[in-house]
Chain A
């Protein structure tokens, strides 16, 4: 009868002891790490050792097979990979909405609604002060009030605009930090890959290493939408939107590329393709929010804009004078009179009646006073359809009339339609067939993917499509800045489609840009329409009209940072226009009709292509803020809840239960004691064999 060996028993016992001891140790490991983040519980998987004997020709003739004890097959890690996948996906969405929600809350803080110190309140108080003024145009106290309210309101707008821009810069720093964190995680994960591969190479389970790696991948998932695949040779393959970020030995990092069109704020790209936004920055530069996607645009610049409004007049006109209050038309007969008919763009044709007695100043007053003036049979109602008349001085010290369009660009040119008695010619505005241009406006002409556009500034989001004549956004979410003639390709690229990084880029270049844009639009239209109306009126006992209330602004972008009370009005509130015009003269100190018209500017439908007024626009912006913020807040808290729920489900599988571990502990303890007892028994057997066997009769 065969015997697997004399010390087979001890060997059996020894294996048992080791196995149970290992079981205890693994249980101890679990208990120690019950609170460790990302820890998945481990289990010793015991299996019987290879039995004795093998079915072979030279097998011992002993009944078999004989069990040879216990061995540890592996130390298994209990984890549900499917739940892990779900967990990571929801983390990405949570990351993005969390950032959005925080952004909106900050914007809400800036706008500070509902409260008594909000922008809307300051806005209302300004209009009310004007209302009071129209009833008391002679009283300096009411003028002071208007001035104060205007200062408060404009200061608040500039403040909020600067806060929003400063927040953009903060978000830029966040982007840089996130990119650095992402790169660091990528490195750590790739390093762990190597170690894991080595461990797997020798057929061991790199349990704790895998836990560490999974934790890093989860942290990464909140930041960027990474897909995780198992590498057959051990470790993981990370793919972000089709880009292999970690595979085998290669790893890629994100790089930050400062974008000159975006104040040097960073575009984010992969290190193997660190392209700038524009292929030829001498032709054009730009930036875009992630909404644009990863498509290229062919941009071709044919002409740059000179960003000037149309301005006409002639320093050498035949009707200049040393004194603007002197009648200047050189009539032979003081009783002569005539009309000049002026029009801007497609606005109404306005007839200005000029008498032989009129001085240059009276003529200037009459022209300015035509804006929104029901006394005229045909009068302009929006600032784009009118101009500013002023008086300039030539080198010889004599005065001449200058007309300047209120709006930049070739569309808003001044035309002289009718010139009775050649008045416009004598004033130097007209040479008989065309206007005498001091400035001739020139639009930018460019094409995007073959579609031709015109723009009156070189830096813009909106332009006029030449084929349809419609004015609108060129590419949704993209800003263009033309630099020179030629061709370039715009190649927007966004590595992330989800996660915090996307959230920050969306917030910086999308959300905040939108609110800044609306604030800019509000400021721009307010200044243009208000000034046009203000120029039509006279201050207290003033002989000239044509003063601006706010500092003039010509471009929409950045208007909210330039919104300010003109320094002349600030120092001399008596210049605030209240009285209307009668035949080129101030109607009188008791006339508050222009102040009334100014306070009604808030009701004129001048926003959104003439559909809403200033008040409604502001309310709509704040309403939208409320809705968007609520959505982001809800999505963020829903996602947080979802993530927690999935985590709880994961914990069902991978979480350590102390009660369970205690039971395991007892189990292994008993098994250990039993094994020890067994060894004792075998020990006695061997002692018997060694000491007492073969000593018959001794």
Chain B
């Protein structure tokens, strides 16, 4: 092959430029720590890097939202905590005040305390976090509770549920509207039997009634009619429920109704009394019985104390307080569960973040040790190319002619 001078220089230059190009790239990698600058250098890597960056950004945002949600829910929890303490104190005072032997002036003193505690509770209801009222629903810029005529507590907020996104497509409701915390609807559960004649006979037998987590055993003698069965039930389980008879067309029905928001379940243990009555496999009905507003209750307690209605205090008021405490407990439990869920999610996000960041680094970042090694390798190649080229280019026949 005939090699002209031009070819020598041309090939030498091309190879040299190639070397320098590779050197430049390695130097750039070493200085920036990144594998590629432009999408064209690694289209697939570019897209993956974009996606990962986006996910990391989103997760960062969700983490922030979670922090805010946890703050809100924690504030709610602590308010509920304080409210619970107050109700416990009130309960003690009520028991104290129901004592017949107390002097009226002492009762007045207790009534004053109750009024004070009511004010405290009102303040708790109007808790705000960073300028927003937590119990107002959507009306976060105005107080949930205000005092109206005759010191009646009026709810000014709404039923709004603030749903915050904490994960892609998943929201969590972070607030509880005031009228669902400081008041509740009272519901009772009831079960009805089939229609029977008032003279129908049932038994003998034993059946069990479960109310909430309490179990009662009711024995029915032979020859019992519906009314007798009702009496028996009231005898055995009267604390948790009541049984009564209602007329229904030409006959009567037996009704069992729980006191308070507890479900009922019935089963025959001996005999087939429930089966004959037609009370098995029936669905309970929810019956709305009235509202329970703690501010109302407290006002009524104060009045009862001042007018010395001790039976009302130890009867209705106490059971209302207990019911309300149950309700408050349930609300607290729900809020607490949300906080737990958020904290678990948050820690999952932290783990995710570490994994994603490391994956992103694998795609985007160079291994510095590898780059430095390649760089010194390439430098050696560059130098030897220069040396070889310099030798050959310079020599020609002219050097050897006389």
Q: Decide: B39 and A108 in contact? CB cutoff 8 A.
A: yes
In the complex the two chains form, what is the Cα distance from A135 to B40 in whole Å?
A: 39
Q: Decide: A588 and B137 in contact? CB cutoff 8 A.
A: yes
Q: Decide: A644 and B397 in contact? CB cutoff 8 A.
A: no
- Say if the beta carbon of B377 comes within 8 Å of chain A: no
In the complex the two chains form, what is the Cα distance from A630 to B2 in whole Å?
A: 36
In the complex the two chains form, what is the Cα distance from A591 to B141 in whole Å?
A: 11
- Say if the beta carbon of B6 comes within 8 Å of chain A: yes
Closest partner residue, chain B, to A593 (CB atom): B163
Q: Which residues of B contact A653 (CB under 8 A)?
A: 2
User: A588 with B139: in contact, given A113-B46, A593-B163, A651-B10 (CB under 8 Å)?
Assistant: yes
- Say if the beta carbon of A526 comes within 8 Å of chain B: no
- Say if the beta carbon of A120 comes within 8 Å of chain B: yes
Q: Decide: A629 and B39 in contact? CB cutoff 8 A.
A: yes
User: A658 with B139: in contact, given A134-B165, A593-B163, A644-B10 (CB under 8 Å)?
Assistant: no
Q: Which residues of B contact A135 (CB under 8 A)?
A: 65, 68-69, 164
Question: Of residues B1, B130, B141, which shows the largest number of chain A Cβ atoms within 10 Å of its Cβ?
Answer: B141
Q: Decide: B39 and A590 in contact? CB cutoff 8 A.
A: no
Closest partner residue, chain A, to B171 (CB atom): A596
CB distance from A341 to the nearest CB of B (A): 29
- Say if the beta carbon of A316 comes within 8 Å of chain B: no
Interface 1/0 per residue, A616-644 and B, CB below 8 Å: 00010011011101101100000001001
CB distance from A663 to the nearest CB of B (A): 7
CB distance from A51 to the nearest CB of B (A): 34
Q: Which residues of B contact A633 (CB under 8 A)?
A: 40
Q: Decide: B398 and A662 in contact? CB cutoff 8 A.
A: yes
Q: Decide: A648 and B164 in contact? CB cutoff 8 A.
A: no
- Say if the beta carbon of B323 comes within 8 Å of chain A: no
- Say if the beta carbon of B54 comes within 8 Å of chain A: yes
- Say if the beta carbon of B136 comes within 8 Å of chain A: yes
Interface 1/0 per residue, A577-588 and B, CB below 8 Å: 001000000011
Interface 1/0 per residue, B60-74 and A, CB below 8 Å: 111011001100000
CB distance from B138 to the nearest CB of A (A): 3
Closest partner residue, chain A, to B1 (CB atom): A652
CB distance from A75 to the nearest CB of B (A): 19
Closest partner residue, chain B, to A623 (CB atom): B47
- Say if the beta carbon of A136 comes within 8 Å of chain B: yes
User: A626 with B397: in contact, given A599-B165, A648-B10 (CB under 8 Å)?
Assistant: no
Q: Decide: A651 and B6 in contact? CB cutoff 8 A.
A: yes
User: A656 with B39: in contact, given A588-B160, A590-B137, A590-B162 (CB under 8 Å)?
Assistant: no
In the complex the two chains form, what is the Cα distance from A657 to B2 in whole Å?
A: 9
User: A590 with B132: in contact, given A651-B4, A658-B396 (CB under 8 Å)?
Assistant: yes
CB distance from B301 to the nearest CB of A (A): 33
Q: Which residues of A contact B168 (CB under 8 A)?
A: 603
In the complex the two chains form, what is the Cα distance from A632 to B3 in whole Å?
A: 32
Within 8 A of A (CB), among B94-112: none
- Say if the beta carbon of A235 comes within 8 Å of chain B: no
CB distance from B197 to the nearest CB of A (A): 48
CB distance from B18 to the nearest CB of A (A): 9
Q: Decide: A591 and B138 in contact? CB cutoff 8 A.
A: yes
Which residues of A does B touch, CB under 8 Å?
34-35, 104-105, 108, 111, 113-114, 120-121, 124-125, 128, 131-132, 134-136, 138-139, 541, 579, 587-593, 596, 599-600, 603, 615, 619, 622-623, 625-627, 629-630, 632-633, 641, 644, 647-648, 651-659, 662-663, 666
- Sample of 15 further A-B pairs with CB below 8 A, known A590-B140, A590-B162, A596-B171: A108-B40, A114-B46, A114-B53, A587-B160, A588-B158, A589-B141, A593-B163, A600-B169, A619-B47, A623-B46, A626-B38, A630-B41, A644-B10, A644-B14, A651-B7
**A and B contact pairs by CB, cutoff 8 A, 30 listed:** A35-B6, A105-B38, A108-B38, A111-B39, A114-B50, A114-B53, A120-B54, A128-B58, A588-B138, A590-B136, A590-B137, A593-B163, A622-B50, A626-B38, A626-B43, A630-B40, A632-B40, A647-B10, A648-B7, A651-B4, A652-B2, A652-B4, A654-B4, A655-B4, A655-B5, A655-B7, A656-B4, A659-B397, A662-B398, A663-B397
Which residues of B does A touch, CB under 8 Å?
1-7, 10-11, 14, 36, 38-43, 46-47, 49-51, 53-54, 57-58, 60-62, 64-65, 68-69, 130-132, 136-141, 158, 160, 162-165, 168-169, 171, 175, 364, 396-398, 401
